Amino acid sequence: MMKHKVTLADGRTVPALGLGTWRLGDRRDRRGMEIEALRRGIDAGMTVIDTAELYGNGRSELLVGEAVRGMDHSGLYLISKVLPENAGRKRMERSLDGSLSRLGTDYLDLYLYHWRGSIPLRETVECLEDLKKKGKIRAWGVSNFDIDEMEELFALPGGDSCLVNQVLYHIGSRGIEFSLKPWMEEHHVTLMAYCPLAQAGKLRRGLYENPVLNAVAAKHECDVSQVLLAWSIRGGKTIAIPGSSSAEHTLMNAAADRVELDAEDYAAIDRVYPKPDRKTWLDME
């Protein structure tokens, strides 16, 4: 089981390392391998599983549903996300019901508003609270919200029930540390880091070749990817959800739970990937 855990504002304690499913479920020839990767991750203690109706137009949810079929849901923490155009009174419950059906469950542990759209935020919050009252979701949160959007959210009735904000965060993308991350900590909103291994985009460039990160990995007899994950969950307030399509890589991610970076490591990382000294746009790739 996982040593590093995060306690959410509602009192639930979950592993700090979970399973992301972006881009999983898209290829039939990889389906068996991806299901095995998810199951091995769950067996290793990565019981937080994040998906979305967007991912493969529901194919990722179907994949997760097959992977967890027959498992005790009380031992899992299932998350999905609603698209902005579905985040209002006309469509949200129907959208959620579709996700529940594909996942093979009658409730979600956490339902996230995937990103800000045109539907009034007040209406979205009211719908999320209604779904919570109906027992179809245990909690809700948001994704890709910057500090101004979080402040607007918390000014609404029920807005402070937001449990999680899921944003891109890794060693090469630290912009949220200037204002968003401290604000979230002050307001007891848990950070969920997607793409903690810099799986996509220009922000990945040079990370895995960086001599400092490689030296830290050598010191701890681990892989650079494990250094990235150990760094991302430092402090006990962040959940990281790396994605993997193979059991081998999933178990490597899980093993990052045993990597204990020290003050010397953090200082070395700060020198090559410094903390932000000003507000920047929220990274999304």
**pLDDT tens digits, 147-189:** 999 999 999 999 999 999 999 999 999 999 999 999 999 999 9
Residue 40, domain extent: 5-272
Q: Phi/psi of residue 163, each to 5°?
A: -90, -35
Q: Phi/psi of residue 149, each to 5°?
A: -70, -35
**What is the share, in percent, of the chain residues with pLDDT greater than 90?**
95
Does any domain span residue 277? no
275/38 Cα distance (integer angstroms): 33
Instruction: Give the number of domains in the chain.
Output: 1
Average pLDDT in the chain: 96
Confidence of residue 285 (pLDDT cuts 50, 70, 90): low
pTM of the model: 0.96
Does any domain span residue 156? yes
State residue 63's pLDDT score.
Answer: 98
Does any domain span residue 279? no
Asked whether the predicted pLDDT for residue 80 surpasses 90, the reply is: yes
From residue 264, how far is each of 232, 257, 267, 271 by CA, in Å?
A: 16, 19, 5, 11
Q: Within 13 Å and on the Cβ side, how many CA atoms surround 147? A: 15
Write down how long the chain is.
285
Q: What is the pLDDT of residues 122-142, one digit of tens each?
A: 999 999 999 999 999 999 999
175/245 Cα distance (integer angstroms): 28
Confidence of residue 203 (pLDDT cuts 50, 70, 90): low
Q: Are 21 and 50 in contact (CB under 8 A)?
A: yes
State residue 14's pLDDT score.
Answer: 98
CB atoms near residue 17 (< 10 Å)? 30
State residue 200's pLDDT score.
Answer: 60
Which CATH number covers residue 27?
Answer: 3.20.20.100
Decide: residue 13, CB within 10 A, 0-12 exposed, 13-18 middle, 19+ buried. exposed
* Mean pLDDT for the stretch of residues 83-103: 98
Does any domain span residue 242? yes
Does any domain span residue 282? no
Does any domain span residue 280? no
State residue 201's pLDDT score.
Answer: 59
Q: Higher confidence at residue 238 or residue 200? A: 238
Does any domain span residue 281? no
